[in-house]
Structure 1
Amino acid sequence: MNNKLLMALSAAAVITVSGCTTMAEMAGADTASLNVMATEGFNKTVQEARGNKTLDTSSATYRRINTVFNNLRPYADQLNQTGEKFDWQLAVLKSDTVNAYVAPGGKVVFYTGIVNKLNLTDAEIAAVMGHEMTHALEEHSKSKIGAQALTNMAIGIGKSYAGASIGDLGSAALDFGAQVGVGLPYSRNLESRADQGGLMIMARAGYNPQAAISLWEKMNKLDGGGSGTSFLSTHPSNTQRIEAMRKNLAAAQTVYNQSSVKR
């Protein structure tokens, strides 16, 4: 256990949840370190997916996701205030799983199931992508790590920074998500921020933000069928959430209407 983590544990009793980011940095989870760790985990995920032939680099679904990713990336870069340049990368995995997640520094993982099962339009893909990009841009993993350090004395974080092997459970993608705090429940406040930020990014990139509403309506319909989708379990979706997005829709719609590009 490194000295920074020991310092964080000692301070846990006196630091409130509002200091989650500071707590994470005391535990060694500064922006640069998180980005490096995320890159290592992402590379391992890609390597494993390539080995078991689940890495999608050529299908029509991949091409659609990749096009949206590249269309949103410049606008996401404009909003980057982390102090570290992001090396945005995308991995599309062949799976019926309805899920997508992001890791620090702009490492995005999409499962083909989220597009194919929900029959997403390009604009709806942009809503998912913008949501995940906002998590990375606002460093929500850092906030989550800080919260974990406060609530459970950083169990698991020490393992990550001790260089523990990824993929102990036989799936680098799943362990990667757990290790850096992506693919796991964020607080409702951070989810709301990701929703709002995602609306603005997709609107800037020329995608109609109305698609974010239809996306979550599709999510709710699928979940109502008892599917227990991974994306819904990690990104709570409910009527209140959709209503909150409706309240922010006017501002995003204005940005979209003023955009010189329409997708």
Structure 2
Amino acid sequence: MNKKLVIAFLASGAVTISGCTTFADMVGADSATLNATATQGFNQTIDEARSNKTLDTSSATYKRINTVFLNLKPYADQLNQTGIKFDWQLAVLKSDQVNAYVAPGGKVVFYTGIVNKLNLTDAEIAAIMGHEMVHALEEHSKQKIGAQALTNIALGVGLSAAGVGDTGAAAAQLGSQIGVGLPYSRSLESRADQGGIMLMARAGYNPQSAITLWEKMNKLDGSGGASFLSTHPSNTQRIDAMKQNLPAAQALYNKSIKRS
């Protein structure tokens, strides 16, 4: 394939080949396969965390994260246009790491450090949860895998499904094997930011808290960095972009408050 043509394709992420088939589908990273792989890796992560006593199922931090997760889940289901029903699941891991991510099909992993070190409010937890849920709902991991496969063709190294089919016992492996371990493109990050504030607003969490969250992230980054920022780059531009979309999110939030 002509390398210039590949580069042009890369601009669109997961390239549509025909109908609703994407390049990711063609290299074995279709939605059903990705979701199944994610479920397998997620279950192994749970088993490992349980065995080394790092799985949190009872602390005050866990209860807060889980409450936010349960509150956002029905609204996330309403937005699911993948054609496959998600089996949303949450794992909270006891760790000082400031990190959180989601795997395909709605497998959310939170580290207690991201809540405790940043002293997050429930609404700020919802900002992270909404952001990650949108990554899953829009299948951003699948788009990264499709783009990576095309990059490999351009480089002459063959097709790659970014480890699809492999299994990993650790949370880090789960993150990397299905396209969640490396940074998303700026466009995908922006979509998760904007979709996340809309999702949290629908669930009754003030979207203004997304701004305070990222301001806290920036301060932490300046004082030594956070794992979360290695895969979710924080900067002034993204905060400014969210501020521009706040009026629409605020309107949804106001409606949700009236309903309740």
TM-score norm. by structure 1 comes to 0.89
Check if 1:166 corresponds to 2:168: yes
Q: Paired residue for 1:231, among 205, 209, 228? A: 228
RMSD over aligned CA atoms reads 2.0
* Pairwise CA distance, 1:12: 7.9
Cα 1:97–1:19 change in 2 (3 A) is closer
CA distance in 2, matches of 1:156, 1:133: 28
Cα distance in 1 between the residues matched to 2:257 and 2:105 = 28
Instruction: Return the alpha-carbon distance in structure 1 between the equivalents of residues 3 and 106 of structure 2.
Output: 29
Structure 2 unaligned residues grouped into runs of 5+: 16-21
Q: Deviations over 1:107-155 (max 9, x none)?
A: 0000000000000000000000000000000000010001111113487
Structure 2 vs 1, CA of residues 250 and 53 (structure 1 numbering), >3 Å: closer, same or farther? same
SS in 2 for 1:136: helix
1:254 paired residue number = 251
Query: 2 CA distance for matches of 1:215 and 1:159?
Result: 31
Structure 2 distance, partners of 1:156, 1:230, is: 29
The CA deviation at 1:23 is: 1.3
2:163 is paired with a residue of what secondary structure? helix
CA distance in 1, matches of 2:232, 2:67: 24
The equivalent of 2:114 in structure 1 is 114
Of 32-41 and 150-159, the range deviating more from structure 2: 150-159
How far apart, in 1, do the equivalents of 2:50 and 2:63 lie?
Answer: 17
CA distance in 2, matches of 1:116, 1:210: 20
Q: CA separation of 1:51/1:152 partners in 2, compared to 1, >3 Å: closer, same or farther?
A: same
Query: What is the correspondence of 1:50-199 to structure 2 with a 5 Å cutoff?
Result: 50-153=50-153, 157-158=160-161, 160-161=163-164, 163-167=165-169, 172-199=170-197
Percent sequence identity over aligned pairs: 73
Aligned to 1:240: 237
Residue 208 of structure 2 aligns with which residue?
210
Task: Indicate how the Cα distance of structure 1 residues 158 and 251 shifts in structure 2: closer, same or farther if over 3 A, else same.
Answer: closer
Contact 2:149-2:159 within 8 A present in 1 as well: no
TM-score by length of 2: 0.90
**Would you say the 8 A contact 1:183–1:234 is kept in 2?**
yes
State the 1:184 CA deviation.
1.9
CA contact (8 A) 1:12 1:149 kept: no
Q: 1:32 to 1:12 in 2, by over 3 A?
A: farther
Show structure 1 runs of 5+ residues with no match.
1-9
CA contact (8 A) 2:162 2:178 kept: no
Q: For the residues of structure 2 that align with 1:148 and 1:139, how far apart are their CA atoms?
A: 15
AA matched with 1:104: P
Residues in 1 aligned to 2:3 and 2:88: alpha-carbon distance in whole angstroms:
33
1:160 is paired with a residue whose SS is coil
Contact 2:99 2:110 in 1 (8 A): yes
